[in-house]
Structure formats: structure tokens, C-alpha cells
Structure 1
Amino acid sequence: MTLPKPRAVLFDLDGTLADTAPDLAAAMNKVRTDRGLAPTPYEQLRPVASAGARGLIGASFGLKPGDDSYEELRVAFLDTYEGAIAVHTSLFEGIQALLEGLQAQNFAWGIVTNKAARFTDLLVPRIGLHHAGCVISGDTTPHSKPHPAPLLEAAKRLGISPLECWYVGDDLRDIEAGRAAGMATVGAAWGYCGHAEPATWEADAIASSPLEVLKLVLGSS
């Protein structure tokens, strides 16, 4: 399928641009060991890393928002993560080449994440993404993904119509948000994907690697 040529490509952060799961899992397991509990296996935590505290606490403690102890665990996790946010986090292989390729062809690019600005503002410069055209965090607008508001805000800041933007993400909510914003959507199959099969998301395209996204952009018309 040939997608409409974009003027900008927007990306999710966790599980799409950056492999943040090692530091997220480490923070979650620090919360457990501080309470005398054994660490949760990394393989159990990695797929839910894109869901942040909600996903990690769910996988590690079997709790959801509103349950007893959930809020206390959430605060402890976030404080721990903030203090060790870029120890093992890195860009996925191929991301640097993808972004350089977009810039070389004069495509704008930006970040739209559900991560709160408290963390995004710390992490983005530390992993070399400070040259993004815009960075929209989970609390930049009154709504977070899958609501389209963050994506529409990103397009506004770039001065580009949402219809001329693509959104690339590794979770169903990314595809839902992009679709609601009127953007072409690409599922990042190299990411965490939340135990789900990206082919079921009804994205406009699925990319198995970052460089495949670049090929899609360059092949669009």
C-alpha cells in the first residue's frame, strides 16, 4: 500500500524511538526489592513498558488504578524511575539513521508520548532527541492518547496539517490516536506491542524496523 506523502512524521517515544524498558523494569523491581519481594522477570515487564506505571504495576503486582496500595506503588515507582531514567535506555537500532534520513529529505519530525513532561524533559536530551521539531508529553494537553488532542497539538506546533502527518507507534492506542487525528498510521512492530499482534490494529502500514519506515516515507506519493 502506498501512503500519502507526509510533510512530517510523528513518533511515540517508549518502545518506538527509545528502548526504555530496561530502566522502567529496573525501577519497578527496585520498588519490589525495597519491600522484600523478588524481582519480576524482565520478560514479563518488557511487553507492558509502553503502558508506564499502570502496565508495570499491573504486571508486577497484579493491581490496577483504584486498588488498595496502587497509588503508593505508583508514586514510589515514578520517583525511583526519575532518579535513574537513562542508565540503560537507548535508541532502537536504526532510529538515528531514520531520523537523519528524514531530515536529509526535509521532512519534519516530532515526538508525541503519554510520558509526563516531568520525565520526557529529562530523557529526551539525554538520548540525543533534543532536535525534535516538537515534543508533546502526556500532560501537555488535557487528554492523552488514544485521544487525538496530543497529535493535533504536535501538528499545530509544527505548522503542518494533520492530514500531512504520519504517526508511528508500537501500541494500539497510538494507531487509534493517529486515526482520530486524521493522520496516516504506521505500527512499529519492532517495539513492545503490549503482547498484541500489530497486524490486528488496522494501521495503514506495519514496519518491522525503523529503516522500513524511512522506505515507506520515501516511497509515498
Structure 2
Amino acid sequence: MSHARFPKVALFDLDGTLLDSAPDMLATVNRMLAIRGRAPMTLDAIRPHVSKGARAMCGAVFPELSIEARDAQVPEFLSVYAEELGRHGRPFDGIAPMLDALEAAGSRWGIVTNKPEGLARDLMLLLGWQDRCAVLIGGDTLPERKPHPLPLQEAVRRLEADIADCVYVGDDERDIQSARAAGMASIAALWGYRLAHDDPRNWQADVMLEQATELLDPTAWPQGGAH
């Protein structure tokens, strides 16, 4: 008989891990393109870039621009995205019941994302998660962001938890690098967003899962911090 348990604390990346937010990003970049009289992008074209952040998406949309010129598009991107936030995307299949299962097991869960904290908090309200998410660290919450370990370390400190009792789930190599640097067990979310040349086998996560629904099974989680 299995004695596997959910971790005491489960921490998650947001875009590409809990949320399929690519449709919101697509609406954002297509508004920017329409203003410029240019053809819209497809979801398949923008999807691989979503977890890389606003600068990467501006680079994908305007590849002909210099790095400086692309960076200059970021404030516009964030402004338009704030208007499209939560209008088109939704949690991946399996996420809602998984969060229910974590809470039923007495586990706490939180979010550590490189998305600006204000936008992440707005999403919590839209999703009805604001009173359920035990901690939220954004990309501008601290002086460092992932892949630095500080965001995960700060989340653990705020929860008054032990690193050994926590597992971090993310769909980008930076997520796994951050967890490893913090000494935290990790799960690579293969259902998320990544470029064609990204090979999750090289990230050295403790576990790799193909579908978010697999998180419903306690045996799928690294067991070092289970209770």
C-alpha cells in the first residue's frame, strides 16, 4: 500500500504551469500588431515564448527590431496585456481539482512567478484564488527574480516552512534552476511553454510530468517533503 503524500508546501510558477495564459498573450500582441497595420500572429507562433517573459514575446513579435527597440515595446505590451488579463486563458485541465486535493490534504500552496506582482494578484482575484494562495512572489517583488533562488527562499520564509518540505513546479528551465539553487525539490511541467530547442531532460528536475492531471496523484510528487 502506498504511503505517498502531497508535499506540505507546493509552490508553482504561473504562466504555463497553473494557467494556459497564451490566449491572453496572443490577444495582446495582435492588438499591438493591428495598431501597426500588420497581420496577426497565431497561437502556435506565440505559445513557445510565453514563459520567457514580456521581452521575449516582444522579440518574437518584432524580430526585425534591435534589442533596445524591442525592450522599448515592453511598457506597451504590459499595458495592453493588463486589459486582456484573464479574458481568454484558463487553468490547465487538472489544476482546479489538484488545488482542491492539496487543500484537502492539509497542504499549503503558493505562486512564485516572474510576472509582475500586480498582474499576478489581479489574476488571483479573477480566478477566485486570492484567499487560497498562501504566498505570492512576483518578478518585481524582490531585487532578484528566477533563476535566482531568492524568490523561492522568500516564499518559504513568509510561510515559515522548511525548504525540505516544499516542492516547486514550473515549465521553464529557470524554474528548475531556481529550485535547485534553493535546495528545493522540483517538477518540470512538460505541458507548459518552451521553445523547440529546449530539452527538459537537461534541466535536472527531480520529476518530469507530461500532463497537469498527473499532479492529482500524490505518488507523482517528490517524496522528500511529504507528510
Structure 2 length-normalised TM: 0.89
Alpha-carbon separation, structure 2, partners of 1:63 and 1:145: 28
Q: Deviations over 1:175-195 (max 9, x none)?
A: 000111110010001111333
Following superposition of structure 1 onto structure 2, how do residues 67-146 of structure 1 map, counting pairs within 5 Å?
Answer: 67-130=67-130, 131-146=132-147
Q: Deviations over 1:7-36 (max 9, x none)?
A: 201000000001111011210121111011
Code of the residue aligned with 2:86 in structure 1: it is A
TM-aligned CA distance change 1:218 to 1:189, over 3 Å: closer
Q: Is the 8 A contact 2:135 2:158 kept in 1?
A: yes
TM-aligned CA distance change 1:171 to 1:15, over 3 Å: same
Alpha-carbon separation, structure 1, partners of 2:114 and 2:219: 24
Q: Does 1:203 align with 2:205?
A: yes
Alpha-carbon separation, structure 2, partners of 1:181 and 1:3: 23
Structure 1 length-normalised TM: 0.91
| Cα distance, 1:128 vs structure 2 | 2.8
Q: Is the 8 A contact 1:25 1:56 kept in 2?
A: no
Unaligned regions of 5+ residues in structure 1, if any? none
Three-state SS of the structure 1 residue aligned to 2:161 is coil
Alpha-carbon separation, structure 1, partners of 2:111 and 2:8: 15
- The number of equivalent residue pairs is 219
Three-state SS of the structure 1 residue aligned to 2:195 is helix
| Cα distance, 1:140 vs structure 2 | 1.0
| Cα distance, 1:129 vs structure 2 | 2.2
Three-state SS of the structure 2 residue aligned to 1:80 is helix
**Corresponding position of 1:152:** 153
Alpha-carbon separation, structure 2, partners of 1:4 and 1:91: 23
Code of the residue aligned with 1:214 in structure 2: it is L
CA RMSD of aligned residues (A): 2.1
Three-state SS of the structure 2 residue aligned to 1:193 is coil
Unaligned regions of 5+ residues in structure 2, if any? none
Which shows bigger deviation, 16-25 or 193-202? Answer: 193-202
Three-state SS of the structure 1 residue aligned to 2:10 is strand
TM-aligned CA distance change 1:166 to 1:32, over 3 Å: same
Following superposition of structure 1 onto structure 2, how do residues 26-41 of structure 1 map, counting pairs within 5 Å?
Answer: 26-41=27-42
Alpha-carbon separation, structure 2, partners of 1:210 and 1:6: 16
Alpha-carbon separation, structure 2, partners of 1:147 and 1:3: 30
Which shows bigger deviation, 130-139 or 3-12? Answer: 3-12
Code of the residue aligned with 1:137 in structure 2: it is G
